[in-house]
Amino acid sequence: MTIDAKGLHFADLNREVRESADETIDIENCNGQRYIAGGLSGKKLEIHGTPGNALGSYLNGSTVVVHGNVQEATGDTMNGGEIVVHGSAGDATGYAMRGGKIFVLGNAGYRSGIHMKAYKENKPAIVIGGRAGSFLGEYQAGGIIVVLGESEDDKPLIGNFCGTGMHGGEIYLRCNKLPARLPEQVRAEKLDCLPEGEAAQLVREWCKKFGKDSTKYLCSGYYRLSANTDNPYRQMYTAN
């Protein structure tokens, strides 16, 4: 099924997607429509254009492939499935993710991975091919974030305050110099290459989706960030 989204109200577009009996749906001429694939299960969407905020919010097992950029809150509170972005992503990508995977070819904005959490077999993941903005992994409680730094300019790999409030999960940064302004409550471990495990598998998946050579990204220096359990965040109280 193909839906031409040109001039289509987001509510009408989303109703057509939900009511379609087809498992695979192509959306053409997407231009800012919000909430696409919200809570969707069992379908694959191919989106051409730029979807609006909260793409794939509460996604529950579907696959969404975007041939373009995405706006804010992509994958907000998603439970499962995949979102693949052949472009860049806005702020709060993966906000409160509880499962599933988000793969971004380009950059991501501020607060990617904020409030990510994991439970038993549900372990969310975000792989960002370019740079990420400030407050990456803010209040992260679980899951994995990987930033590969594939960029043609000299801007920093990440912005300021990465891992602020982090108390679980992992962040992998492909770089040879530790970024500035990391909180003291975040532990940084230097890696000469990416060891076998979940992060390496995620990088392989990212490379396969975007036609990249995985050797280049696996055999690079990384920093692994995790919560510093010897110096945890503490609630601050004021005296009366």
- Residues 82, 199: Cα–Cα separation, whole Å: 16
Residues 34-93: tens digit of each pLDDT: 999 999 999 999 999 999 999 999 999 999 999 999 999 999 999 999 999 999 999 999
- Residues 208, 219: Cα–Cα separation, whole Å: 16
pLDDT score, position 236 = 43
Cβ neighbours of residue 126 under 8 Å, at least 6 residues apart? 75, 93, 94, 97, 101, 102, 104, 108, 112, 113, 116, 143, 144, 145, 146
The tokens for 21 are 């009996």
- Residues 203, 239: Cα–Cα separation, whole Å: 48
The tokens for 44 are 């694959």
- State the Cα torsion 173-228-109-102 to the nearest 10°: 70
Domains in the chain (CATH in brackets) are 88-227 (2.160.20.60)
Specify the pTM: 0.94
Distances (CA, A) of 175 to 51, 62, 179, 221: 31, 33, 9, 6
Q: What is the mean pLDDT of the chain?
A: 93
pLDDT score, position 231 = 66
Distances (CA, A) of 146 to 102, 186, 222: 11, 16, 10
| Contact of 110 with 159, CB cutoff 8 Å | yes
The tokens for 54 are 């909260």
Closest to 60 (Cα-Cα) out of 94, 113, 24, 99: 99
| Contact of 121 with 97, CB cutoff 8 Å | no
Q: Which residues of the chain have pLDDT under 50?
A: 236-237, 239-240
- State the Cα torsion 176-181-182-183 to the nearest 10°: 160
| Buried b / exposed e along 142-175 (16+ C-beta atoms within 10 A) | bbbbbbbbbeeeeebbbbebbbbbbbebbbbbbb
